[in-house]
Amino acid sequence: MIEMSTLGHRLHEPGQTRRELPHTIPAAARHLADEHGIDDAADRAGLPPQEFAQLFSLDPGRAGNALDAG
């Protein structure tokens, strides 16, 4: 790394970059929860339903959800 800096390879770093935000996985999680309910979606993801809902900011009132039962 020092050698690269000495050779000038790091002199032209990119300027301010836009932070990447994940879109595909949250969209897939929402779709799965809409189609099959949070319980089934969480089971497929290997997560407890409450953690799945919290992780993907899902409404606990989605169909097939044990969270609204207790």
Q: Is the pLDDT of residue 57 over 70?
A: yes
The mean per-residue pLDDT over the stretch 41-61 comes to 90
Between the CA of residue 49 and those of 26, 46, 54, what are the distances in Å? Answer: 15, 9, 9
Dist. CA 42–CA 22, nearest whole Å: 19
Instruction: Locate 9 and state its tokens.
Output: 């390879």
If one compares 19 and 61, the residue with the highest pLDDT of the two is 19
Of 39, 33, 40, the closest CA to residue 66 belongs to 39
Please tell me what DSSP assigns to residue 38.
H
